[in-house]
Every structure is written in structure tokens, then in C-alpha cells.
Amino acid sequence: MTKATSPEPLIDSVESYLHTIFELHQIERNSVRCFRGQGDSTWSLSPTIMHGNLVSNAENQIISELMMETPDAFANDKYMFDRLVRARHYGLPTRLLDVSLNPLVSLYFACSDESTRDKESLVVCLDFDRSRVKFADSDVISLISNLSRLSDDERYAIREGKEQYNTDRTTNKDEGLTAFRGLPAVKRLIQFVREEKPYFENAINPDDLFKYFFVYPKKSNVRLIAQSGVFVAAGLMEFKRLSSGKIKKTNIKIKTNSKQAIIKQLDSININQRTIYPEIDSITKYIHNNWKKS
């Protein structure tokens, strides 16, 4: 007999949401749990660079253009991952997916988007196996982050090389690995990583470029701290299979007609625009709105 699939939880208040969170499957000792709030439950779980609305070779060009125009803003960023985090802070599309360790922060994001007021919202709960948990200075994260500096053709060449490697390793793994590491696109990727880590050797594991990783960033700005912000970084799988044996995904849906009430409930426990976005422009907007006539 086929086991029935459990329906996705549907909540209508902060209380029912927290009850649902506490009733989720117990997080395993070797796992890390994070959350992602989305204003529309039909949106794909993918970073902005993969939404398909950018021209060819946009990824490597836009980050270079931003760093060229605002070099002082990136002066203290040692790693490419740190630069991508800063670029996300200013709204630039990257291959990083913003998530939070705080489920209430993610509930706020799911309910506060005015453009999706009439849509059913969603909070996604993600449990990452410890083998997929990294810090900002990880060598694997340096590789994945620097993929953003390659051209579309180079990333495509790495995908093709990985397919060939998958074929070759069934007969001679060492030769297949040598061939993959010898690809011009892989050598260029290694060159970029060596700019931040001169000691880095071309001992790359092709599989690492096609996985998803939970990443702890440096707490380099007040917004990251306020939002308990962390990130999901993906290589060249482009978030097509985010749920896997190493990553468990649970969706929590939010009733459309309950979102405004939830925002008021969150405000009563100090989860609001002022605390989520602690920069002065957001604080002044929050204060102004609070003193407007009803």
C-alpha cells in the first residue's frame, strides 16, 4: 500500500505558525534548520540570478560593474562570497538564496510584500545535513562563489565536462578526474580562487560544483544580524533539485486573508520593518507610517 502524502500545513496566525514549527519533524543532531519566506507560494525556490530575466553573460558582468563603480564598498571583502553577500544587500541578483535562522523573520517576509497581498504565501523550512554546512571561508564556497565570475560558455563547458567525468569514472576515475581538472574553464576558476587563496591547489572534486550548501556568513552588517541571515549557495545545478537526501524541505502555507493580521501580530512582538531593516531610512519610514492618520 502506498503511504499517503501529508498535506502542507496551512496557518492563519502567529500562534498557529509557531505551533506548526514546533510540530515539525525533530531536527536531527547533525542537521541545521533554516527558513525562507516567499510572498507567493507558486514562486520557485531559486536565487534571483536564476529567474531567467537577464541577458546572456549577465552574472559575471553585473558583479564586476558594481565593484568597479563602488570599490570602497568592497574594500574589506576578502572572499568572493563576501562580495556576493554585499551585492545581495544592495539588491543585485546573485546565485545566493537568502534564508534565516529565525522562523518569525521568514514569516514577516512571507506576509509583508505588498505586491503579493492577494496571493497565498509560503514559508519553506530547510534542514541541511552537516556535510552541506559551510562557513564563508570554506574552499568549496570559494569555488562556488567564483563560478559567478565565469562566462556562460565556461559554465556550460564545466557542465559538459562533468557529464564526461561521470562517464569516464566508471572505467578509470583517475583519468576522468585529470581530464576534468585540465579543462580551460576549470583552470580559470582555480585562477580566480587563488586570488583570494594563493595556496589553493587544483584538487577540485567535480561533484562539489553541483551541490547545494548552507553557508554561515560573516556578520558584516546590521541587517544580517537583525534578520539572523544566512545563505544557501548553489553550484551549477541551478536549484532544480533542492530537496534531496542531504536536504529536507517542508512547506508551510499562509492563508491569503490572514496576512495583514499576522503582520500586526508580529509587530506586537517587535518583528517589523524597524527591526528587520535597522538602517535609518527604514526606521524613519516605520515611524512615519505609525503616526499617519488611519
Pair type for strands 247-254 and 10-11:
parallel
Res 244: pLDDT: 62
Res 239: pLDDT: 55
Rounded distance between C-alpha atoms, residue 77 and residue 232, angstroms: 19
Burial class (CB in 10 A: 0-12, 13-18, 19+), 251: middle
Res 1: pLDDT: 37
Res 171: pLDDT: 87
Res 294: pLDDT: 67
Res 22: pLDDT: 94
Global pTM reads 0.90
Res 2: pLDDT: 39
In sequence order, the 6+-apart residues with CB closer than 8 A to the CB of 224 are 85, 89, 217
Segments of the chain scoring below 70 in pLDDT: 1-6, 238-245, 294
Q: Tell me the torsion sign for CA atoms 80, 83, 87, 88.
A: positive
Torsion angle, alpha carbons of 262, 264, 270, 272, to 10? 80
Main-chain phi, psi angles of 168, to 5 degrees = -65, -35
